[in-house]
Structure 1
Amino acid sequence: MEQPLFLAPVFQEKIWGGDKLHTVFGYDLPHDKIGECWAISAHPHGTCHVENGPFKGQKLDELWDNHRELFGNAKGDVFPLLTKILDAEDDLSVQVHPDDAYGLKHEGELGKTECWYVIEADDGAEIIYGHHAKTREELLDLIETGQWDNLLRRIKVKKGDFFHVPSGTIHAIGAGIMILETQQSSDTTYRVYDYDRKGDDGQPRELHIQQSVEVTTVPHVDPELHIIQHNQGTSSVTEYVRTPFFNVFEWAVDGTLTLTQGGLYTLVSVIEGHGQLIIEDPETVNSTETYDISKGTHFILPNQIKKWRLTGKMQLIASEPGIDA
């Protein structure tokens, strides 16, 4: 019987990070300023390894290269998705990401479209999401003259909010917010503004004004969201977004939730509660494997697993590759 791939997260120290990945999720952290948990990643800057089964100890990029059948023989040189949990104790830099064409040409890697599910948010916490410039010339002028209040669009957020952040969107996560981020597997970030913070070397952190102006979508347009919820008894599936890169869902389990493979494979993160993942063997009657899962568990359901059940009381965020991934 095919097994899920449980993954060990990789932690990234950040100037704006805190300790909530320990206090909220219970992870043992290597430093006290951890901003990112790369929960499901095959990116070379932080590659997860498998914790169970016949592939135990292997890295996700190795599985992509050598066992593509696990991923439905998907095309592509790199595993296309990356799941993170971000803890913003302080404001992140104001930034923007390129699309695939620009990223591959200038950085040698994919562009970065992403989306955010807000796990926690302090009262009054806000994000920067978009800008007010009408032309690229106005965008450059507002950046160069530091008119941030006139340029940046601020939105207050709360637990449970969801945002789609296409490449070309100026954005920043504000202090006091923890999110789960589903994104293309890219680590290319162009900083527009960083509050004049200094890095470990005592110098202001690098900005990327030319690249930012070149890749930013002008004028900003909010992507339309068509959020759909399907109830299954007292449990539910909420479809947040479908893009060429990824489809993202929330699975709210209160009792039992039965699901089937909708894409080539599925990435799953438990963000609240605990319960069981039950895999049925399609070739053997009444043959199942049960796995205990809880808050902070991350796994991939490979292509060969076509149906599963979740039991207990928990909240999970799941994603699958889109048509262009």
Structure 2
Amino acid sequence: MLVIETIVHETIWGGKKLTPYSGTNNKKIGHLYSLISNGELESKILNGEYRGQLFRKYFDENKARFGLSNYKEFPFLLALVDASDDLSLQVHPNDVMAKELEGADFGKNESWYFIDAPKTGKIFDGCKARTSQELKEKVTLGKYDDVIDFLEVRSGDYVYIEAGTMHAMSAGSLVYEIEENCNATYRVYDFDRVDKDGKKRPLQTENALKSIDVSLKSKTIPYVGEKTERLYSTQLFKNTEEYTNVSNTLECLTVIDGESEVEGQKVQRGVTIVLEPNETVKLNKSEFVISRPLLKEAV
């Protein structure tokens, strides 16, 4: 098994909920990456034969053993997300648009598990505009309130956000996030915020308008039982002290609550343990999410 080192990502909208688990005094942590290997950020391994090396190296050298050879990179990334402010209105491209605009193998669908619900009880999700032309006209005029829709969420909810959906996490949210491994995010609107240098963050309006499907809107469901999506399956476990990977591929165990020691490493909120088939990990009573890549004939 591999214990993965977390990576801190400071953001303009981040908060301090994850500070106690970051090994830093940073009060603007947006993402605590539990497992990421996307060419921009690369997770390191803390134990065993690959100690001190990148997870990418482990995956490249071992993916054939786990039926994952058709993935150039590990197919998803994992993070805890603390939104002390609203995120930008944004969209991720679907496969067709990701290939056209980025030359990527696939677009980005993602799943959110709400550890803490937003203050308003809703996130930005979906589009009030009925056509792409109406959306373009409203965005051009800066009438964002006329186009963005909302989705009510509560703590414990699971939301699958399909590529092409206009969306944004809202203030107060603390979320476990699993994203397909595509780097493309197109901002539509950033609430006219400025960074520490007094500059507005760039928008990618043209690509966003090409990528938004006005018909898409997410749904909330309780995070109970296994959720199987396009490139991964995921399941929440509570009050659990032992877990065995009974699948025939890798599984990622990400701690949501609880503290243990595994392979001489402190394992707490935000830490991911990668389990090979038949490996068992023993923990103090914990809440965690298991995420598993789906085997694909071709990707």
**Common fold by TM > 0.5:** yes
Alignment partners' CA distance in 1, 2:5 and 2:243: 26
2:201 aligned residue: 205
Report which stretch shifted further, 159-168 or 114-123.
114-123
Q: Which residue of 1 is the match for residue 278 of structure 2?
A: 306
| Matched residue type, 1:143 | V
Q: What's the secondary structure of 1:75's corresponding residue?
A: coil
Whether contact under 8 Å (2:109, 2:180) holds in the other structure is: yes
Q: Paired residue for 1:262, among 231, 247, 258?
A: 247
Q: CA–CA distance in 2 between the matches of 1:108 and 1:151? A: 29
Change (3 A) 1:204 1:137: same
Equivalent positions of 1:211-222 (< 5 A) are: 211-222=207-218
Q: Deviations along 1:250-299, whole A, 9 cap, x unmatched? A: 01234x5554433521111010124587xxxxxxxxxxx99874433211
**Of 217, 237, 240, which aligns to 1:251?**
237
| 1:200/1:107 CA distance change after superposition, 3 Å | farther
Question: How far has the Cα of 1:169 moved from its partner?
Answer: 0.8
Deviation of the 1:213 alpha carbon:
1.4
Residue 96 of structure 2 corresponds to residue 96 of structure 1: no
Q: Which segment drifts farther, 119-128 or 75-84?
A: 119-128
Give the Å deviation of 1:158: 2.5
| Counterpart position of 1:271 | 256
Instruction: Report sequence identity in percent.
Output: 28
Counterpart mapping for 1:172-251 below 5 A? 172-222=168-218, 229=224, 238-239=225-226, 241-251=227-237
Who is 1:280 aligned against?
none
Please report how far the alpha carbon of residue 218 of structure 1 lies from its aligned counterpart in structure 2 after TM superposition.
2.4
For the aligned residue pairs, the C-alpha RMSD in angstroms reads: 2.6
Secondary structure in 2 aligned to 1:249? strand
* Structure 2 counterpart of 1:63: 58
Partners of 2:223 and 2:15 in 1: CA distance? 34
For 1:221 and 1:127, the matched residues in 2 are separated by: 11
Say which one has the larger Rg.
1
Tell me which amino acid in the other structure corresponds to 1:306: N
1:125·1:177 contact (CA, 8 Å) conserved in 2? no
1:295 counterpart (257, 264, 269): 269
Structure 2 residue 107 is matched with structure 1 residue 133: no
Distance change >3 Å, CA 86–CA 70, structure 1 → 2? farther
1:38 aligns with 2:23: no
* Distance across 2 between alignment mates of 1:315 and 1:118: 13
What is the CA-CA distance between 1:187 and the residue it aligns to?
2.2
Between the aligned partners of 2:65 and 2:34, the Cα distance in structure 1 is 19
The CA deviation string for residues 75-94 of structure 1, in whole angstroms up to 9 with x for no partner, is 22111110011111111100
Report the CA distance between 1:220 and its aligned residue: 2.1
Relative distance call for 1:323 and 1:58 in structure 2 (3 A) is: same
How far apart are residue 142 of structure 1 and its match?
2.0
CA–CA separation in structure 1 for the residues paired with 2:153 and 2:91: 20
Question: Normalization by structure 1: what TM-score?
Answer: 0.82
| Number of equivalent positions | 296
- What is the CA-CA distance between 1:315 and the residue it aligns to? 0.8
Shift of 1:105: 3.1
Relative to structure 1, is the Cα distance of residues 275 and 12 closer, same or farther in structure 2, using a 3 angstrom cutoff?
closer
CA distance in 2, matches of 1:166, 1:54: 37
Query: When you count strand as a share of all residues, which structure comes out higher?
Result: 1
Give the TM-score taking structure 2 as reference length: 0.88
Moved more, 79-88 or 154-163: 154-163
- The CA distance in 2 between the partners of 1:138 and 1:323, in whole Å, is 40
Q: Show structure 1 runs of 5+ residues with no match.
A: 230-237, 278-288
Q: Which amino acid aligns with 2:249?
A: L
8 Å CA contact 2:245, 2:251 repeated in 1: no
Map of 1:79 onto structure 2: 74
